[in-house]
């Protein structure tokens, strides 16, 4: 293809997605669109997988059987979400093994939020309420993303995430209505998770150079700042309802804008955690590697079983 033809194809592609048409795996797409999406979808998948770690940590210590089955089901969902997403990335020609190896070696990124520790039970409530809440805001937008398989995975994920957020909020609600010590625990968790949750939406629009292209290609449908504002507007009344205080002295309803104004985010912290200096970066990566190694025998057993069955079928058909 000549350079002119390529530019013509790209222009046609842009008009196609701008008209709200979906792109399917075998359609022509700009190489950069493919690369951007493989990176984004695989990072998203890795986040689901690593996201299991801080929560799995609490399964054996959940305060009741009701909480325990809910947490187990949630963690199992996250594994499922990871699988839907790896599948979506594979439709673009990526190999899952390569993606997983990039995660295990530390080369690939995942959401920085999972590099924060979960020292108390209230953290499990805060993760469901805030972290899943922020993820949902992003994922609801991605249900309308231009790449068909990614959008379809998001629809499934959004349906399931809603339970995650509700179970988290219920945990916070129970603690906030509990003893003074329990309420303090809930407030402490909100204090620690609030700002990192706001950072989940990524840098401000003026510091997010890749966003413009993603918006043009309809991969993203809303900007980081728009999504962040939506999340804040939705979440502040939820905190007030259960008598918890959002840890931002500058937080104030702005009648004119119809939104909450909020304080400055500590972007240095955001970039530090991305650079690998969060409290749990090493621990998470180590735990993920150990889990992968510990699962090796299961994968090998599945292979051995499949081989044995294939051999048996062959013997039976030749005997018949």
Partner 1 sequence: MSNNKDNWKIWEIFIRSKNGISHKHVGSLHAPDAEIAIKNARDVYTRRSEGISIWVVPSDQITASKPDEKEQLFAPADDKVYRHPTFYHIPDEIGHM
Site residues (vs partner 1, CB under 8 A): 24, 26-28, 73, 76-77, 80, 83-84, 87, 90-91, 95-98, 152-153, 156, 160, 299, 302-303, 305-307, 309-310
Find the helix or strand (DSSP H, E) in which 254 lies: strand 252-254
Closer CB to partner 1, residue 78 or residue 248? 78
SS3 for 253? strand
Helical segments of the chain, H only:
3-18, 31-56, 65-90, 96-105, 121-126, 132-142, 148-176, 180-199, 211-216, 224-241, 267-272, 281-294, 296-319
Query: Distance of alpha carbon 266 from its chain centroid, rounded?
Result: 21
Q: Of the two residues 59 and 215, which places its CB atom closer to partner 1 in the complex?
A: 59
- Residue of 81, 74, 96, 95 whose CA lies nearest to 154: 81
Cβ proximity to partner 1, 257 vs 296, nearer residue: 296
Residue 22: DSSP 8-state = P
Q: Do the beta carbons of residue 116 and residue 152 sit within 8 Å? A: no
Residue 234 in tokens: 């939705």
Minimum separation from the CB atom of position 18 to partner 1 (A): 19
Minimum distance between the CB of residue 226 and partner 1, rounded to whole angstroms? 29
Could you tell me the smallest distance in angstroms from the CB atom of residue 36 to partner 1? 20
Report the nearest approach of partner 1 to the CB of residue 303 (Å).
5
- Cβ neighbors of 284 (< 8 A, separation 6 or more) are 50, 53, 54, 114, 115
Which of residues 98 and 261 has its CB atom nearest to partner 1 in the complex? 98
- Residues ≥6 apart with Cβ < 8 Å to 176: 182, 183, 186, 187, 242, 243, 244
DSSP 107: -
C-beta closer to partner 1: residue 74 or 222? 74
Instruction: Name which of 21 and 191 has its Cβ closer to partner 1.
Output: 21
- In this complex, which beta carbon is closest to partner 1, that of residue 38 or of residue 130? 38
Nearest distance in Å: CB 305, partner 1: 7
Nearest to 49 by CA among 309, 285, 315, 259: 285
For residue 72, the minimal CB distance to partner 1 (Å) is: 12
CB of 297 to partner 1, least distance (A): 14
């Amino acid at each position: 293809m000549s350079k002119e033809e390529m530019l013509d194809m790209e222009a046609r592609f842009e008009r196609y997605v701008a008209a709200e048409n979906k792109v399917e795996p075998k359609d022509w797409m700009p190489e950069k669109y493919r690369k951007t999406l493989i990176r984004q979808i695989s990072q998203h998948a890795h986040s689901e997988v690593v996201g299991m770690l801080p929560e799995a940590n609490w399964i054996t210590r959940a305060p009741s059987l009701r909480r325990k089955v809910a947490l187990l089901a949630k963690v199992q969902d996250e594994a499922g979400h990871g699988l839907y997403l790896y599948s979506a990335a594979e439709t673009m020609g990526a190999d899952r093994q390569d993606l997983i190896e990039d995660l295990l070696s530390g080369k690939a990124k995942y959401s920085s939020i999972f590099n924060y520790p979960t020292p108390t039970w209230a953290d499990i409530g805060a993760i469901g309420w805030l972290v899943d809440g922020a993820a949902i805001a992003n994922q609801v937008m991605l249900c309308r993303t231009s790449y068909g398989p990614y959008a379809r995975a998001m629809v499934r994920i959004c349906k399931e995430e809603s339970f995650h957020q509700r179970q988290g909020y219920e945990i916070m609600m129970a603690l906030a209505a509990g003893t003074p010590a329990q309420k303090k625990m809930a407030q402490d968790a909100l204090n620690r998770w609030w700002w990192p949750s706001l950072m989940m939406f990524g840098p401000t629009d003026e510091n997010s150079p890749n966003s413009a292209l993603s918006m043009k290609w309809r991969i993203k449908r809303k900007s980081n700042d728009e999504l962040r504002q939506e999340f804040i507007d939705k979440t502040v009344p939820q905190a007030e309802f259960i008598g918890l205080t959002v840890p931002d002295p500058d937080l104030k309803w702005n009648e004119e804008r119809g939104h909450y104004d909020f304080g400055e985010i500590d972007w240095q912290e955001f970039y530090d955690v991305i650079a690998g200096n969060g409290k749990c970066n090493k621990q998470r990566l180590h735990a993920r590697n150990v889990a992968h190694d510990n699962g090796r025998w299961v994968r090998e057993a599945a292979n051995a079983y499949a081989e044995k069955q294939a051999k048996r079928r062959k013997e039976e058909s030749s005997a018949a």
